[in-house]
Structure 1
Amino acid sequence: MQFGLTDEQQMIVSTVRSFVEKEIYPYEAEVERTGEVPEELGQEIKRKTIELGFYACNFPEEVGGAGLSHLDFTLVERELGRGSMALTHFFGRPQNILMACKDEQRDRYLLPAVRGERMDALAMTEPDAGSDVRGMKCQAVRDGGDWVINGSKHFISGAEHADFFIVFVATGVDETPKGPKKRITSFLVDRGTPGFEVREGYRSVSHRGYKNCILYFDNCRLPDAQVLGAVDGGFDVMNEWLYATRLTVAAFSVGRARRCFDYALAYSAERKQFGQAIGKFQGVSFQVADMITEIDAADWLTLSAAWRLDQDLPSNREIASAKLYATEMLARVTDTTLQIYGGMGLMDDFPIERFWRDARVERIWDGTSEIQRHIISRDLLRPLGA
């Protein structure tokens, strides 16, 4: 692995960081205050991203994407992590699982998503089935030549902007020695399909403006043409396309931590107490040293996992390690930065309290810290028969 970035990678980092500073930072306070992204602003960010050539940069060139490697795309996500998620959502990174589209699905979903003409949202989580994907109760049953879906999904990010949804539902049950095991199928569901409704979700203290929604299915009828992948093959498409999304959370956490650290470092040098900069006190200077060490460690852990993906090496454990460490590192960095700022850190005059609140959810979505530890330990113990 090369530890230095190539000239092209340096350009990617510089271009995306400049975009975030110019097109995202100026609007963050307003989005934080209102909890909304004005439609015209979101579309303007999308338009500028397309002009920049970075929209759907996580897709291969043959379908119209930029064809970035996993490592290159991780660098993009790391820089986007510096900005408000509600705004960087319009930078446009459709779900890679759309590469599973076949035949006319490519023209209806994949290619318009890559061009920025249609936006997607992924729907998997349910009130009683978060980490336990096979515990989902939303189900589709055969009725004639169609599928009829009933149930609900919640915590669906970006649903208010989505034109269509990639929905995972139960389509049967197998009896196994360990008990019943549900079969899962992925469906493509257009907004406005009869029997399908998108409702406003819960109010969250993390990532204001980046909303979650609740999806309801009441005898929603879909033809076989809406199945993404194979019937009962939902886990296959998950394993092929979705597990790497944990890497984007790790990269985001590193980018956000570096932005937060910049505030901590500057404040440590500027803030005076007892006649000198607080950074001269060991209690603060050691915190600064610990923060940058952890950020660098999380950064290299994340980039290394991305590099392994590009080399077609086993990466599941490494991605889990990156997601686990980077998200927990972000929590420590934001909390320490707030401590360095003291009481002012909790005031909305600075974005520190926002970074602190936003950091909390990173340890939950795309697989909790506990799930990541399970993946890591399972990978280590299984070869030993344990």
Structure 2
Amino acid sequence: MHFGLTEEQRMIVDTTRAFVETELYPHEALVERTGHLPMELIRELQKKAMEAGLYAANMPEEVGGAGLDTLSWLLYERELGRTNYALHWTCVARPSNILLAGTPEQREKYLMPCIRGETWDCLAMTEPGAGSDLRGMSASARQDGEDWILNGTKHFISHADVAGFTIAFLATGEEDTPRGKKKKITAFFVDKGTKGFTVRDGYRNVSHRGYTNSVLEFDDCRVPARNILGEVHKGFDVANDWLGATRLQVAATSIGRAQRALDHALSYAAERKQFGQQIGKFQGVSFKLADMALELKAAELLTYEAAWKFDEGSVTDGDMAMAKLKATEALAMIADEAIQIHGGMGLMDELPLERIWRDARVERIWEGTSEIQRHIISREMLRSVGG
């Protein structure tokens, strides 16, 4: 593993950071104040992101993306992660790579409009009664001739309000396992506007203002068999094949925000004076800065190593779980300590620290809670010794 960045990677970092600071930072206050990202602003920033070559950059070149290797993609995600989530996710969209698992017809209908910025995708897995235990989902689909009938409810579905379609994971049967019966899961494309498919407003969220969540309801919603993504009963297979790296994406965006918080803390510690000297020279502050830098570096190295191993074909679930766990917990610690160093001003909305602090909380929950990540890591360790 080489630690130096290539010239191309440095260019990706510089271009993305300049775009974030010039085009996205100026709109953070609006989104934070209103909790809303106007569509006219989205379209304006979308156009600029496309002109800068940043839109859908996670996609392969053959479908119009930038064709970035995993490390380059995460460096790009790190820079985008510095800003408000709604701004970078909606205006510099990265379509889910699970869309690449579709048939040629499905790619043309669902993937390509996302890459062109005409619409957005969303994934529907979580239910009110089934969070981490996706096999426990109750939303189901049954076959009826050439069609499937979908029923049930999903919630916490990110940006479903702007998405043109959802990829919904529903139970389509059961199988016997050593631990009892488990649901078989199938993934379906469901277009917005399909009869029996309703998107409702979700919950008011303390984290990531402007980045909405919705409740999806399926009430005898009929979709054709051609809308199945992958194979019947193989929804988990397609998810596992294509969605594992989303944990690395969360890690990378968390690192970006942690770096921004640390930068603010470092500058303030050098500028603010108390008792005749810079507060950064007091041990109570200097040790905080050292610990923050240490945690950030550890998170970066775990994330970049996982990215390198991903491209080498040797990454494990434990590698990605470690990166996600460390980065999200480091972000929480760094955001909290940055506020402590600033004192009362750290909680004022003149600075981004209170937002970073609030936004950090959800990172230890979505894409697998910290407890789930620890379970993945320990299970992999025990398996290696026959446990």
| 2:353 alignment counterpart | 352
Once the two structures are TM-superposed, the CA of residue 50 in structure 1 deviates from its matched residue by 1.4
| 1:343 alignment counterpart | 344
Once the two structures are TM-superposed, the CA of residue 57 in structure 1 deviates from its matched residue by 1.3
Once the two structures are TM-superposed, the CA of residue 117 in structure 1 deviates from its matched residue by 2.0
| 1:106 alignment counterpart | 107
Look up the equivalent residue of 2:4 and give its one-letter code: G
Once the two structures are TM-superposed, the CA of residue 308 in structure 1 deviates from its matched residue by 0.5
- C-alpha separation between the residues in 1 aligned to 2:179 and 2:319? 29
| 1:30 alignment counterpart | 30
Look up the equivalent residue of 1:32 and give its one-letter code: E
| 2:63 alignment counterpart | 63
Once the two structures are TM-superposed, the CA of residue 349 in structure 1 deviates from its matched residue by 2.2
Once the two structures are TM-superposed, the CA of residue 65 in structure 1 deviates from its matched residue by 1.3
**Structure 1 unaligned runs (5+)?**
none
Deviates more, 1:257-266 or 1:115-124: 115-124
Secondary structure, in 3 states, of the residue corresponding to 1:180?
strand
| Structure 2 counterparts to residues 251-330 of structure 1, below 5 A | 251-330=252-331
Secondary structure, in 3 states, of the residue corresponding to 1:181?
strand
TM-score (norm 2): 0.98
| 2:379 alignment counterpart | 378
Secondary structure, in 3 states, of the residue corresponding to 2:170?
strand
Instruction: Render the CA deviation track for 1:162-206: whole Å, top value 9, x for unaligned.
Output: 011111111111123321110000011111110001111000110
Secondary structure, in 3 states, of the residue corresponding to 2:55?
coil
Secondary structure, in 3 states, of the residue corresponding to 1:120?
coil
| 2:230 alignment counterpart | 229
| 2:138 alignment counterpart | 137
Look up the equivalent residue of 1:384 and give its one-letter code: V
Once the two structures are TM-superposed, the CA of residue 376 in structure 1 deviates from its matched residue by 0.6
Secondary structure, in 3 states, of the residue corresponding to 1:279?
helix
Instruction: Render the CA deviation track for 1:107-152: whole Å, top value 9, x for unaligned.
Output: 1112222222221111111111111110111100112221100101
TM-score (norm 1): 0.98
| Structure 2 counterparts to residues 147-226 of structure 1, below 5 A | 147-226=148-227
Superposed CA RMSD: 0.9
| 2:76 alignment counterpart | 76
Look up the equivalent residue of 1:65 and give its one-letter code: G
| 1:250 alignment counterpart | 251
Secondary structure, in 3 states, of the residue corresponding to 1:93?
coil
Contact 2:306 2:315 in 1 (8 A): no
| 1:7 alignment counterpart | 7
Deviates more, 1:312-321 or 1:24-33: 312-321
- C-alpha separation between the residues in 2 aligned to 1:383 and 1:292? 33
- C-alpha separation between the residues in 1 aligned to 2:294 and 2:104? 49
Secondary structure, in 3 states, of the residue corresponding to 1:119?
coil
- C-alpha separation between the residues in 1 aligned to 2:185 and 2:63? 27
- C-alpha separation between the residues in 1 aligned to 2:379 and 2:177? 21
Contact 2:119 2:162 in 1 (8 A): no
Once the two structures are TM-superposed, the CA of residue 346 in structure 1 deviates from its matched residue by 1.6
Deviates more, 1:116-125 or 1:188-197: 116-125
- C-alpha separation between the residues in 1 aligned to 2:60 and 2:352? 36
| 2:240 alignment counterpart | 239
- C-alpha separation between the residues in 1 aligned to 2:13 and 2:47? 20
Once the two structures are TM-superposed, the CA of residue 343 in structure 1 deviates from its matched residue by 1.5
Once the two structures are TM-superposed, the CA of residue 48 in structure 1 deviates from its matched residue by 1.3
Query: How many percent identity over aligned positions?
Result: 61
- Whether 1:44 aligns to 2:76 is no
| 1:364 alignment counterpart | 365
Secondary structure, in 3 states, of the residue corresponding to 1:67?
coil
- C-alpha separation between the residues in 2 aligned to 1:176 and 1:308? 32
Once the two structures are TM-superposed, the CA of residue 56 in structure 1 deviates from its matched residue by 1.4
| 2:128 alignment counterpart | 127
- C-alpha separation between the residues in 2 aligned to 1:180 and 1:384? 28
| 1:333 alignment counterpart | 334
- C-alpha separation between the residues in 2 aligned to 1:157 and 1:182? 24
Deviates more, 1:60-69 or 1:29-38: 60-69
- C-alpha separation between the residues in 2 aligned to 1:344 and 1:60? 44
- C-alpha separation between the residues in 1 aligned to 2:107 and 2:346? 48
Look up the equivalent residue of 2:6 and give its one-letter code: T
Secondary structure, in 3 states, of the residue corresponding to 2:142?
strand
Look up the equivalent residue of 1:354 and give its one-letter code: R
Instruction: Render the CA deviation track for 1:276-300: whole Å, top value 9, x for unaligned.
Output: 1111100001111111111111111
Contact 2:248 2:307 in 1 (8 A): yes
- C-alpha separation between the residues in 2 aligned to 1:16 and 1:349? 24
- C-alpha separation between the residues in 1 aligned to 2:31 and 2:65? 29
